Amino acid sequence: MLMHSDSIINEYVSLAKSMKGDAKAEKDTVHIVVPKETLVNTASKLFNEYNCDFRTCVGVDERPLNGYFSVTYIFTDNKNGLYILVKTYTEPQNPVIPSIVKTVPGADWCEMETRDLLGIEFADRDQYRLVLPSGWPEEIHPLRKDIPYNYRPPIRSVSEKITPSTELGVIPIGPYHPALHEPEYFELYVEGERVVDVKYRGFHVHRGIEKLAETRMTYQQVNFLAERICGICGFEHSTCYALAVEKAAKIDVPERAQYIRSIVLEVERIHSHLLWLGVAFHVVGYDTGFMHMWRVREKIMYLAELLTGSRKTYGLNLVGGVRKDINEEKKQKTLETLKETEKDFKKLVEVAISVPQVKKRLTGTGILPREDAVKLSVEGPVARASGVNKDARRDQPYAAYKYASFKIPVYTEGDNLARALVRVDEVLESISIIEQLLDRIPRGPIKLEDFEIPEGKTGVQVVEAPRGGDIHFVITGHGKPYRWRVRAPTYSNIPALKIMLKDQPLADAPLTIASIDPCFSCTDRVLVVRENSKTEWLKLAPGVQI
């Protein structure tokens, strides 16, 4: 487990003081509060000098608490296992703070989401709508505390195109398309068969889960809402939420429960990577590999049902522990299934990756250089395939990962093949992690029965989902979260497609888009407009830059 030395903590405290701010440390988290005037310099030092990893930012309506709005920028010091939270306040009469996007490019989307949902303006940067549709009233900001969760404002019907005046060819993909499984919209600008530029518009199914949790649900109910953020890696979200609340409330969860969490997390990682590898083979036209990979995955889906009672949406997590135990019979059956899966998987990958057409389509396409991966703060296999050696299971250890030994696969080529190989290696590492944890799992209870969650406490957690780091940020309230912020890894990885697709053959675009394993459900977090007692879906206007 990483130890946080006093000297490292003191460096961050000194940085805060030099920026005319204050700092305090709580276990693995350093809270820094700075005035608006020094926010950009503070963020720049953390990102460019301290080499901290930028994760996301969070806007909060704190007017009922202290009369202000706030924005918190979340960084992680991966070398020392620390969370660095940089917070600044702004007056409600004129809520404006400086933008950090020129020094920390990965902050682009989260700043514009904060502008949409809370009405906080960011100075000295391009402004655009990210989450809300263009016809949404300018004065209505849904995450403000004085806006009821069920308020439905009048919506203007607005038609907007993002196609610039250009002589380039335009290839629209989405928002509904036979090749897509979720609604998303890409415009590829092409010159012959070469992709010159790309623009993206998402958030077609923004579900407002954060507002729902803050107004209608108890702490324990949010566990089950969090698991429905994603149909593939929902358990990562529910674990991340539970850990954030437990950290805020200083709850020590039974060790056996932490082991069970890590075991199920790795089961989910395996089935997610097997799903992606099958889809990748399908995209390049190798359907035999697709069908065999999903045949192997079916054993893992059986394993998930054995351990939790469900193939997906397990309903396992609670704040304070888990709801189901792993007995000796399940343990032995799990070990047998993993042994069979590992044998089948190795044989299949050896053949599939060697197929000349597959190897040729994957090699040298969709390249993301390391410097761009760092600049844009990309996550997961996308980062590790570009030489960025980060993984929250090792860097910010949680659950039972500190009790397991595993390698972090890192490649430097940054192409589609490297992203595939990272996932191949991770499947084998995950099998090893589960075997280790099952061998060492301690006896004892699986959940706490009695505990309290005090108000006004902050917890932030990164959980390494199959696609990369999930971030959940919680400020505790009375019986429910006062503020809950969710950021999925695809949210950070989509902007990198602008670089990955540039100057690539058009035929490779679907593969490169798929290579980040995008989950648009995770990213969007359904907007319904009621008019004359009828429910209509509102088409979100395009225009978001990536």
What range does the domain containing 104 cover?
A: 6-123
**pLDDT tops 50 at residue 215:** yes
Task: Let me know if residue 12 belongs to a domain.
Answer: yes
**Span of 182-191, 259-268, 373-382 with lowest mean pLDDT:** 182-191
384: nearest Cα among 399, 368, 400, 401: 368
pTM listed for this prediction = 0.92
Task: Kindly give the residue spans of alpha helices, DSSP state H, lying in 105-191.
Answer: 108-118
What pLDDT, on the 0 to 100 scale, is given for residue 376?
96
* 387 alpha-carbon distance from chain centroid: 19
Rounded-to-integer distance, Cα 321 and Cα 449, Å: 9
pLDDT digits (tens, 9 = 90+) for 331-344: 999 999 999 999 99
Task: Let me know if residue 143 belongs to a domain.
Answer: no
**pLDDT tops 80 at residue 255:** yes
Q: Are residues 432 and 297 in the same domain?
A: yes
Residues 6+ apart with CB under 8 A from 503: 194, 195, 196
Task: Let me know if residue 537 belongs to a domain.
Answer: no
* Mean local confidence (pLDDT), 423-432: 98
- Mean of pLDDT over the chain: 90
401: nearest Cα among 372, 440, 445: 440
Q: Are residues 298 and 427 in the same domain?
A: yes
Element (H, E) at 463: strand 458-465
DSSP one-letter string for 78-90: TTTTEEEEEEEEE
Q: For residue 368, what are the CA distances in angstroms to 175, 291, 371, 415, 508?
A: 25, 29, 8, 7, 14
Task: Let me know if residue 157 belongs to a domain.
Answer: no
Last-in-domain residue among 103, 123, 143? 123
Last-in-domain residue among 123, 139, 155? 123
Identify whether the C-beta of residue 123 lies closer than 8 Å to the C-beta of residue 97: yes
Residues 6+ apart with CB under 8 A from 2: 80, 81, 395, 396, 397
**pLDDT tops 50 at residue 313:** yes
Element (H, E) at 423: helix 416-440
Task: Kindly give the residue spans of alpha helices, DSSP state H, lying in 206-286.
Answer: 209-216, 219-226, 234-249, 255-283
Q: Which pLDDT band, with edges at 50, 70 and 90, does 526 fall under? A: very low
CATH number at residue 12: 3.30.460.80
pLDDT digits (tens, 9 = 90+) for 363-414: 999 999 999 999 999 999 999 999 999 999 999 999 999 999 999 999 999 9
Rounded-to-integer distance, Cα 85 and Cα 75, Å: 6
Task: Let me know if residue 151 belongs to a domain.
Answer: no
Q: Which pLDDT band, with edges at 50, 70 and 90, does 327 fall under? A: very high
Q: Are residues 85 and 223 in the same domain?
A: no
522 against 120, higher pLDDT: 120
Residues 6+ apart with CB under 8 A from 5: 80
What pLDDT, on the 0 to 100 scale, is given for residue 201?
81
Torsion of CA 454, 396, 376, 494, to 10 degrees: -80
Task: Let me know if residue 391 belongs to a domain.
Answer: yes
What pLDDT, on the 0 to 100 scale, is given for residue 232?
87
Task: Let me know if residue 171 belongs to a domain.
Answer: no
Percent of the chain with pLDDT over 90: 77
Task: Let me know if residue 541 belongs to a domain.
Answer: no
488 against 163, higher pLDDT: 488
Instruction: Report how many domains make up the chain.
Output: 2
Last-in-domain residue among 78, 95, 123? 123
pLDDT digits (tens, 9 = 90+) for 16-62: 999 999 999 998 999 999 999 999 999 999 999 999 999 999 999 99
Identify whether the C-beta of residue 117 lies closer than 8 Å to the C-beta of residue 132: yes
